[in-house]
Amino acid sequence: MTSLQKVFHYASNTEFLRYLWAGSLTFLTDFLILIVLTELVGINYLWSNLAAVSVGMLLGSLLCINWVFQNRRYTRVAQEFRLFVLICIAGILLNEALLWACVEFGKTHYLVAKVIVSAVVFVINFCLKKMILFCR
């Protein structure tokens, strides 16, 4: 089996597929909150994004722990939760920085930028969570 075939097999038959479903639900939640807070409430897109990503990360955390990942490295919930929070904070900071850069320097509409940034952060978060928290 080639490396590409192994990646495809892994992505279609394992945790990555569940992470994709959970990430899709998380993204929809995050995206809708961003739109509501920015367009309807009138909050700056960066503040709206911060709130939206925070809610999305909380939902994603619950889904990852309870459904996505089968193997857990840590048996102590407090230790696992601290590391999970650190990964989430890194994801939030990366999300904010990339969104700001796409909008301010790339002159991209914030909703288009959000889709692009979310895809990048999605992959990075999966890799970090898998390597640090959910492997043996």
Per-residue HEC secondary structure of the chain comes to CCHHHHHHHHHHHCHHHHHHHHHHHHHHHHHHHHHHHHHHCCCCHHHHHHHHHHHHHHHHHHHHHHHHCCCCCCCCHHHHHHHHHHHHHHHHHHHHHHHHHHHHCCCCCHHHHHHHHHHHHHHHHHHHHHHHCCCC
Domain spans of the chain, in order of start: 3-132
Residue-wise pLDDT tens for the chain (136 aa)? 676 666 556 655 678 888 889 999 999 999 999 999 999 999 999 999 999 999 998 898 888 888 888 777 888 878 888 898 899 899 999 999 999 999 999 999 999 999 999 999 989 988 888 888 887 6
- Cβ neighbours of residue 7 closer than 8 Å, sequence gap 6 or more: none
pTM of the model: 0.78
Tokens 């279609």 found at: 12
pLDDT of residue 53: 92
Q: What is the structure's pLDDT at 98?
A: 97
Report whether 124 contacts 97 (CB < 8 A). Answer: no
Residue 43 has a pLDDT of 98
User: Alpha-carbon distance 130 to 81, whole Å?
Assistant: 14
